[in-house]
Amino acid sequence: MTNIFVVFLCLFMVVFGFGNGYVEKEEIGIFELKKGEVSLKVTNWGASIVSLVLPDKKGKLNDVVLGYDSIKEYTNDSTYFGATVGRVANRIGGAQFNLNGEHYKLVANEGNNTLHGGSRGFSDVIWKVKRYQREGPSPIVTFTYHSFDGEQGFPGDLVASVSYILTGKNQLVIIMKAKALNKPTPVNLANHAYWNIGGQNSGNILNEVIQIFGSKITIVDSKLIPTGKFAYVKGTAYDFLKPQTIGSRINQLAETKGYDINYVLDGEKVLYCQGFPDSVNHPDFPSTIVTKEKAYKHYMLFKFSTKSH
C-alpha cells in the first residue's frame, strides 16, 4: 500500500475513547520503528500493524502487510486489518459462558455469537503509548489498554499491553501481556495481520507455499463454533504437514469459501498464535482463564529471509 504518513506525525485525529466508565480524549497516531532497511508502522488504534516494509531477494523494498492509507479507514474497519483482537479472539458460542458459578452474557456481534471480543473489542479502542523508541539495536513501541469490568460483558478489570520490537536481521517480535486486577476472566489476544509475502501488487497468496506443523484441527459447526471434537488433517484440504501452495486444495472448501479453522499444533511446547476458539465453553480445551495470580503472556516471533533460485 502507499503510505503518505510522516512518522509521529503528519496526521493526528482527536476522537473520544471510553475507558473505566468515563470519556477521555486521546490522540491516534502512526508510529514507525526503523532498523536498517526494515520499517514497521503501527497505530495505537487497536494496537494495529499498518505496514511492514522489507527488502526482497533483489533488494527491492516492499510492504508485506495489508493495510489502509489513512487512520480514518482503520477507525471504520470491519476486517480487523493488522489489529490486536480481544479480550477474547475468535468466537464464543452463544455469546455466553459460565465461570466459577457465575453466568456471563456477552455482546453478540456475529449472529448469536461473540467474535473477537464483541462489537467494540480491543481492535476498536485507543491504546495508550507507554514506550516508544524509533531506532537503535531493538526499536520498540509498547501500547497499553485498561479494559473495565463488564466491558462487552466480560468480568473484571484487565490491563493489557502489546509490544512491537524489531530485532536481529529482518525479525519482528510481538509480545502481548495481560493482568487480571480483581476477577478471573478469559483472555485470548491475537494479532490479526493479513500477510502477503509477495508484497504490494503481487496478486493473491494462492501460489505462496506454507507449512503448518499441526496434525489436527478443531471441528466446527456451520457457524464456525467448535463442537469439542478434533479431526486429523492428513490427506484432507487442511493438510499442510508438508509444504504446499495455499491454493492447491482450496477448491475443496466450498462451504467455508477458504480456510477459517483452528490448527492444533504438534509438540508439547509450542507457540499458539491464539487460544482455541470457544475454549471457555469446552473444559477439555486448553484454558484461557487469567487470574490475579496467573497473568497472560503471548510471545510471537516472525523471521523473514530470502532465497535465490
- Could you tell me which residues are annotated as the binding site for beta-D-galactose? 90-91, 192-194, 260
Burial of 221 from C-beta contacts in 10 A (0-12 / 13-18 / 19+):
exposed
**Phi and psi (nearest 5°) for 152?**
60, 15
Q: Which residues are annotated as a binding site?
A: 90-91, 192-194, 260
Amino acid 167 reads T
The DSSP bridge partners found for residue 65 are 195
Amino acid 120 reads R
Report the first-to-last Cα separation within the chain, whole angstroms: 27
User: 221: Cβ–Cβ under 8 A, 6 or more apart, which residues?
Assistant: 227
Distance (Å, whole) CA 304 – CA 155? 39
- At residue 15, the 3 state secondary structure works out as strand
- Indicate the Cα dihedral angle 287, 44, 124, 117, nearest 10°: 0
Q: Are 261 and 217 in contact (CB under 8 A)?
A: yes
**Phi and psi (nearest 5°) for 246?**
-60, -35
Residue 163: all three cell numbers together: 509490544
Would you give the DSSP letter of residue 72? H
